[in-house]
Structure 1
Amino acid sequence: MTVLLKRAGVGGAHPIWLRSRTRGVCGGGAMKTEGGAQAPPFAGREQSLIEDARRSAAVLAGLSGSSRARDGLVFEQKDGRVTINVLFTGKIFETFEAKLLHVESRPGRKSKNGATDLEFFMKCEVHSSDLDVFVNSLKRVVDDVRSVPEEKVPWFPRQIKDLDRCNMLITKFDPDMDQDHPGHSDPEYRKRRAFISELAFTGEPLPTVEYTAEEVSTWRHVYRQLRGIYPGLACRQFLDGLQQLEEEAGYGEDRIPQLREVSAFLKGKTGFQLRPVAGLLSARDFLCSLAFRVFQCTQYIRHSSAPMHSPEPDCCHELLGHIPMLADKEFAQFSQEIGLASLGASDEDIEKLSTLYWFTVEFGLCKQNGAVKAYGAGLLSSYGELVYALSNEPEYKPFNPEEMATQPYQDQTYQPVYFVSESFEDAKTKMRRYSATIKRPFAVRYDPFTCSVEVLDQPGKIQDSLSRLRGDLKTLQSALEKFS
């Protein structure tokens, strides 16, 4: 039994964990009720040892009276087990004027004799001066009483449709707000950018943008310049993904790809899909989208006066930097696991995870065939920083999530420090270890069949997940046996 106590007149919450001694089957299985079930008032409020003793005696008297013969009970018996429907008044709660706000039951931990205990979660209010005696009275009738903090978990999406609520934009880099933005002094560019951004709110899943000749010219310049240096600086996974995009999704220097066709390509490769967004999202909203294998993608393009640089994410950054990497299954899994780790995380942990994302997905380097290569989208969409990052100027550090999570970074100039992973598999393993240190009262698992997140906070849910995993393992075992 878990009790959440609020001291009247104090306002503090006092959660207590209680495990019932009673085992059996209650009518209807799990019990759940809410409301204001309040005991009759108890005269007097002055506390003394005598009053405490009287109250304890009253509680004990009620308990002894409840253990008499079961005359008048209506029950059904089958195979030695009894199912009864019971309506009762809790003497302890009545004596202490405790207001019962919520109660529910669930199967508890296994006891020493192998039976399953019944655990209760209860939320009630009791006067602050009665708290200690109230708890001591509860200890007389249950196996386990312990205080636990009431954990407040930030809201997070459980289904892919919940991403409609994850739309908090960070506007500090918008051309309307940022005076250093190349398009700040160009009213026509700002108007055009606002028009394309508004398409993300039309309700159409992936709107088509009719790009102007000037916009295509900017794309062509960026594509041509970066495509020429990719072979010597980009990682193998990126080069493979870009080649597939050129062959299957219409990538090329003379046309800006539409999100609809790129999303269909990604869906078939790694299960990722694109979602239009009007600008830079908050870290929490962006990361939680990754948990559902959804990548929030802008559609406007950088200003033509600075084609090799953009202070905010644009379609050049998304389509050239991110998409080729998301076509790789191992990297897609790595990205999703960062997203899953963010669900329900504290603001402090979100800040650390977003910093990890910055030094990996945005500005990550890796070793391949004895050389350092780039896989971060911020590098692969910026000619200047890509060349700089793979020169002798910056400092390289080994991939270490604990250090990376607190490493200061630059969003106005090139990074002074880059982290180099041995491989994506090594990075994924270390990220999983780091994610396990994030304090949450549950674990999460993504269900690709329903595009939803399962919250694993009860033994039964974990057992169900293990059962499905056993089925997958049997399929793999059967496949291996065909080769033996």
Structure 2
Amino acid sequence: MTKNIDDVEVRGRNANIEPQVNPPTADGFKNKMAIQRSYSVENGYHGKTRSLVGDAKFESFVRRETKTKLLESAQEFEFDIVDEEEALLLESLSTENNNDKVRLRILVETKDCLLGLTRIMKILESEEGKLYHLESRKPKKSEKNIEMEFLLSCQVKPARALFLLKSLKTSNGLVGARLVGGIEVSESCVWFPKHISELDQCNHVLTKLEPDLDMDHPGWSDLEYRARRKMIADISFNYVHGQKIPEVEYTKAEIETWDVVYLELLPGRASQVHIKYLEIMEKECGYGVGKIPQLEDVSNFLRRTSGFSLRPAAGLVTARDFLSSLAFRVFQCTQYVRHPSSPHYSPEPDVLHELIGHCPMFADPTFAQFSQEIGLASLGAKDSEIEKLATLYWFTVEFGLCKENGAVRAYGAGLLSSYGELLHSLSRKPAVEYRIQDIYYIAESFEDAKQRLRAWVSTSLSRPFTVRYIPFTQSIEVMDTFASTYNLIQELKIQVTQLSSAFDQISTTNQLITEKII
């Protein structure tokens, strides 16, 4: 069945969810509006299974509700909000557009010049404010024993603006603070990582579908399994960019679970791309029966074949952070193994799903490019656009089917790592146990899917800029002015020159061969 991304409805979105909002504090938004409650049935997340699409919709809704709650709570602050400027500051917090930023001009009074300046800079750093201008002056009045006044102009996210002002008013070493001049609300983009090291800031989410939280989880009553999961998750949680991926010494039971899934890979049903690279990885990465490959070995192999790499994840991350990792050709990868009582199905991604389902596909340069372009499109995108990109990812990278020589083959990781769902996706039978997946998308080819994605990105994204990935520095370059395209233009000139030289050399070589033959 063929459907538009806009037409896909994910079951279980509840419009009557009450979000858990932490009490407003200066640290209330340190995690970039991270979801602070479990993705559970009790909180409105329908069904036993998680999906990236459902996550994106759930996160969008909770953030909107959180903003509303924040605005209501902010009214209780003793801010003496009497003028139009401060009222506008509060109003900006309730906007539905996550892309807004506010430019503030604040006059701060201090009794100690050096201590006060230090506190101002520390608070700006804490609230992720961007300083544009700072000047000092002696106070016009000597009330309150004020030694110095500082006038600062800064830009800050609406979610942090109120906390920034409150911190400046109440911090030790500062006497007070007040808004001066106008408040400018500017259209910018939500935060996104500009360098691969900034993926360290990804938010791990609390999910109900973990053995400590969900009574229906196969490992709920297995205390030993729960302790094992936590130990492996803690190893991954402490990982930072640049480190070697920690090795996990898998137990006999975990290897036996791997063997069950690995031996059930069905010939003639997987994509030729998957089959090709799986065979190579058996030789180079230790794939096969009797051993679970280590992420470090697989990551090094992927770097050589497609430029992709793996990053250990303690569990699920938000949909936005997950997609943004793909922009750097990085895949967030779990290291724990599903419960041995349920080898054919796991309610959340495990290392079997990642290594058997995803990694052979990421080794293919064309598929890697397609995955990265989804990630690049997510950078700076609105919540509604993240939902659409998550839908695209779900029905391609996770559960995609494609045509090969007239036959339908599976390339989605959710199919390749689940015996039952793989059979179901290629049949016309009702949904299998656990997952209710009755729609699959069949791509003509990876190149066709990539062209369709590019067409959608060029016409549908609302961000006022485009981005590109610089592999030499592992960073993102934002292009929003003619001047910012200079580097790309220079690279294109060099590439055109190289291409022209190659054509000339090939033409000369062919001509010499022809003359010798004659």
TM-score bucket of the superposed structures, by smaller chain: 0.5 to 0.7
Which runs of structure 2 are paired with 1:136-215 in the superposition (5 Å)? Answer: 150-203=186-239, 204-215=243-254
Structure 2: runs of 5 or more not aligned: 1-82, 93-99, 102-130, 141-150, 156-178, 508-518
Distance 1:432 1:412, change over 3 A: farther
1:291 corresponds in structure 2 to 327
The change in CA–CA distance for 1:213 and 1:439 in structure 2 (over 3 A counts) is same
Tell me the CA shift for residue 239 of structure 1: 0.7
Evaluate the alpha carbon distance shift between residue 37 and residue 126 of structure 1 in structure 2; reply closer, same or farther with a 3 A threshold.
Answer: farther
Q: SS of 1:372's equivalent?
A: strand
CA distance in 2, matches of 1:214, 1:33: 58
1:367 alignment counterpart:
403
Alignment of structure 1 residues 451-470 onto 2, 5 Å: 451-470=474-493
Alignment of 1:323-334 (within 5 A): 323-334=359-370
Is contact 2:132-2:152 (8 Å) kept? no
Indicate whether 1:233 and 2:289 are aligned. no
Equivalents in 2 of 1:126, 1:221: separation in Å? 66
SS at match of 1:483: helix
Higher relative contact order (CA 8 A, sep 6+): 2
- What's the Cα RMSD here? 2.9
Q: Contact 1:289–1:295 at 8 Å: present in 2 too?
A: yes
TM-aligned CA deviation for residue 433 of structure 1: 1.3
Match of 2:281 among 236, 240, 245: 245
Superposition pairs for residues 294-313 of structure 1, below 5 Å? 294-313=330-349
TM-score, normalised to structure 1, is: 0.67
State the Cα distance separating 1:253 from its structure 2 match: 1.1
After superposition, give the CA deviation of every residue in 1:47-79 in whole Å (9 maximum; x if it has no partner).
Answer: xxxxxxxxxxxxxxxxxxxxxxxxxxxxxxxxx
- The answer to whether the Cα contact below 8 Å between 1:394 and 1:415 also exists between their aligned partners in 2 is no
Q: Residue 217 of structure 1 aligns with which residue?
A: 256
Q: Is 1:421 matched with 2:457? A: no
Amino acid at match of 1:434: W
- Among 305, 322, 331, the residue aligned to 1:269: 305
1:45-124 equivalence runs, <5 A: 101=153
**Structure 2 match to 1:442:** 465
Write 1 or 2 for the structure with the bigger share of strand: 1
Q: How much has 1:216 moved relative to structure 2? A: 0.7
Q: What is the rounded CA distance, in whole Å, between the counterparts of 1:157 and 1:394 in structure 2? A: 42
SS of the residue aligned with 2:441?
A: strand
Structure 1 residue 292: Cα displacement? 0.5
TM-score, normalization by structure 2: 0.63
* Identical-residue share of aligned pairs (%): 52
Shift of 1:205: 3.1
Contact 1:235 1:374 in 2 (8 A): yes
Change (3 A) 1:469 1:310: same
Count of aligned pairs? 350
- Quick one: distance in 1 between partners of 2:153 and 2:234? 46
Relative to structure 1, the CA distance from residue 308 to residue 478 in structure 2 (aligned partners, 3 Å threshold; closer, same or farther) is same
CA displacement, residues 398-436 of structure 1 (integer Å, 9 cap, x when unaligned): xxxxxxxxxxxx995141111111110000000111122
Q: Tell me how far 1:167 sits from its aligned partner.
A: 3.1
Call closer, same or farther: CA 1:252–1:35 in 2, change over 3 Å.
Answer: same
8 Å CA contact 1:362, 1:377 repeated in 2: yes
Give 1:480 shift.
2.2
- Seen in structure 2, the aligned counterparts of structure 1 residues 169 and 411 have a Cα distance that, compared at 3 Å, is farther
CA 1:178–1:411: 2 relative to 1, 3 Å: farther
Q: Distance in 1 between matches of 2:353 and 2:451?
A: 27
| Max Rg structure | 1
| Gap change, CA 1:346 and 1:212, over 3 Å in 2 | same
1:34 to 130, 133, 157: 133
* Alpha-carbon contact 1:100-1:125 (below 8 Å) kept: no
How many angstroms apart in 2 are the aligned matches of 1:459 and 1:208? 46
- What displacement does 1:102 show? 7.3
Per-residue displacement from partner, 1:61-107 (whole Å, max 9, x unpaired)?
Answer: xxxxxxxxxxxxxxxxxxxxxxxxxxxxxxxxxxxxxx99479xxxx
Q: Equivalent residue for 1:92?
A: none
What is the distance in 1 between the residues matched to 2:307 and 2:407?
30
Residue aligning to 1:318? 354
Distance in 2, matches of 1:321 and 1:202, equals 25
